[in-house]
Structure 1
Amino acid sequence: MAVALVLVLVVVGSILFHILSPWWWSPIASNWGYIDQTLIITFWITGAVFSAVVLFMAYCVFRFRHREGVKADYNPENKKLEWWLTAVTAVGVAAMLAPGLYVWSQFITVPDDATEVEVVGQQWQWSYRLPGQDGRLGKSDNRLVTYENPLGIDPDDPYGQDDVVIEAADLHLPIDKPVKMLLRSIDVLHDFYVPEFRAKMDMVPGTVTYFWFTPTRTGTFEVLCAELCGTGHGYMRGIVMVDTEEDYQAWLDGQTTFAQLSAPTTVGVMDADEP
């Protein structure tokens, strides 16, 4: 009886804790409220299963407790119960998968008017590349990465000359405009994650992954690496700032293009007759 009562109290206490202690979501700053809704659906389904299983355990402990003169009945199979458990489990799993698949379909279906922004991860910093006046990103290749060309941009591709290069600095984005994030790693596995955007994706060397979102509120948001990438993993952080259109253009005008970075620098030589 005591064990059964403890199990019932566990269920009641869990429900009361959820009701009296509200979830403190981080402020959402993108269009992906669908992800929060999916998490809530998953929570309620798993919470209902947890409550049902624990209450069933409490019932079994009490109903089939030891009593003098009562002999246990050995029943190794129950086809009816097995079919019911299989059906209920299948419905529960489908109920959890369906919202996630729906959101995933939207997550990778990029709007035609989305602006491309490349995110480059390396131990242990974030760099970015934005399209220039032509609106297109040039080609890139990890084999082209050098000290002078840290993002491996193809110098022979004319579309890459006006690309805006942001190395180990903050990224700015305009508010209310969809953005397609192209994710590339030049060394090991990384994961670009901004909690307030409800968006994250692995960055796999040798391939380009992507997702899209629309910033919906201005502010400063922290970038985290959500994939263990070495001893400096915990320090691989960055900043994404969502600006008004005016502030974004002012910031963009002050950035450096790939052509400017790769332009040869001239060093003045002093004439021998000069003092």
Structure 2
Amino acid sequence: MALILVLIALGSIAFHVLSPWWWTPIASNWNYIDSTLIITFWITGLAFAAIVLFVAYCLVAFRHRPGRRAAYEPENRRLEGWLTVVTALGVAALLAPGLIVWGQFVRVPANATEIEIVAQQWRWAYRLPGADGRLGASGIEHVSDENPLGLDPKDTAARDDLVIDGDLHLPLGRPVKVLLRSTDVVHNFYVPEFRAKMDIIPGMVTYFWFTPTRTGTFDALCNEVCGVSHYAMRGRVTVDGEAAYSSWLGQQKTFASVASQKRLAAGRAGSQER
């Protein structure tokens, strides 16, 4: 049994070092997330190996022998004190890096561009600021077939917002603040290469921010079980260079134009029915 425990400890370390299942190449500024995970792996890995090897040692050193009796020691203040101190240091070492990164995670740069992602079983919808550079107001009371994102039609700032029909595109090297809304249940927008994600809570606007650092097209997943088709709630995010992004942006339609087209289509459909 002692040999098996030693092999488990060594095998776990070897699997961690040699494992082919590692992170995808990062494509944002959040390399701090990777560093925090590595620190966590080292701390928990060393603790795991130390405990398992200590148990293996005890099995050998204190194994049953004829004539030997176990000593009864219900408490040991010195040992309990050491265990308390070591445990507290270990917990602090695990929490400190995460708290530091979280502080950076919620401090959005002043020059970040705001975009909005709206989650709905089981699809993603996107909204970008228009010519005025800011997103207009929205509310659940405005949601309809013609206005699925719930933008306020009376807000002039919302009329020039770009409603994206298809994949989301982002510019390379510019910080982005992602505002998140849900029209039904809890979702979570996650692009593994960006290392940044956040739960999307009905009735709330949550957010995170990041800076894309590599061009390419990346899968966007829902990372919170949201219903029977959760597995199919996928999208794509493309990070473009400046010229490609400007070209794509020029092809997008504003909320005002999309709403007008939908009203015309609805009017034609009603005329044909009559």
TM-score by length of 2: 0.94
Residue in structure 2 matching 1:189, options 186, 196, 202: 186
Tell me the distance in 2 between the aligned counterparts of 1:153 and 1:42: 42
Structure 2 counterparts to residues 119-268 of structure 1, below 5 A: 119-167=117-165, 169-263=166-260, 264-265=263-264
Tell me the distance in 2 between the aligned counterparts of 1:51 and 1:213: 36
Give the AA of the match of 1:110.
V
Note the C-alpha offset of 1:19.
3.3
Tell me the distance in 1 between the aligned counterparts of 2:267 and 2:127: 32
Residue in structure 2 matching 1:112, options 97, 110, 113: 110
Note the C-alpha offset of 1:136.
0.7
1:272 paired residue number: none
Residue 55 (str. 1) matches residue 19 (str. 2): no
Give the AA of the match of 2:177.
K
Tell me the distance in 2 between the aligned counterparts of 1:165 and 1:82: 61
Give the AA of the match of 2:168.
L
Tell me the distance in 2 between the aligned counterparts of 1:21 and 1:185: 37
Residue 11 (str. 1) matches residue 29 (str. 2): no
Residue in structure 2 matching 1:64, options 62, 65, 89: 62
For structure 1, the 5+ residue unaligned runs are 270-275
Relative distance call for 1:267 and 1:215 in structure 2 (3 A) is closer
Give the AA of the match of 1:247.
A
Note the C-alpha offset of 1:144.
1.1
Give the AA of the match of 2:151.
I
Give the AA of the match of 1:265.
L
Tell me the distance in 2 between the aligned counterparts of 1:104 and 1:27: 21
User: 2:55 is paired with a residue of what secondary structure?
Assistant: helix
User: 1:234 is paired with a residue of what secondary structure?
Assistant: helix
Give the AA of the match of 2:161.
D
Tell me the distance in 2 between the aligned counterparts of 1:235 and 1:267: 29
Structure 1, residues 27-73: CA drift from partner, whole Å, max 9, x if none? 11100000000000000000000011001101111111100001111
User: 1:39 is paired with a residue of what secondary structure?
Assistant: helix
Tell me the distance in 2 between the aligned counterparts of 1:61 and 1:189: 48
Give the AA of the match of 1:144.
H
Residue 76 (str. 1) matches residue 77 (str. 2): no
Tell me the distance in 2 between the aligned counterparts of 1:266 and 1:89: 66
Higher share in helix: 2
Tell me the distance in 2 between the aligned counterparts of 1:19 and 1:148: 53
Note the C-alpha offset of 1:13.
2.3
Note the C-alpha offset of 1:17.
2.9
Tell me the distance in 1 between the aligned counterparts of 2:266 and 2:48: 72
User: 2:136 is paired with a residue of what secondary structure?
Assistant: coil
User: 1:265 is paired with a residue of what secondary structure?
Assistant: helix
The count of corresponding residues between Structure 1 and Structure 2 is: 266
For structure 2, the 5+ residue unaligned runs are 269-274
Structure 1, residues 55-99: CA drift from partner, whole Å, max 9, x if none? 110111111110000111111111111111111111011101100
2:271 paired residue number: none
1:273 paired residue number: none
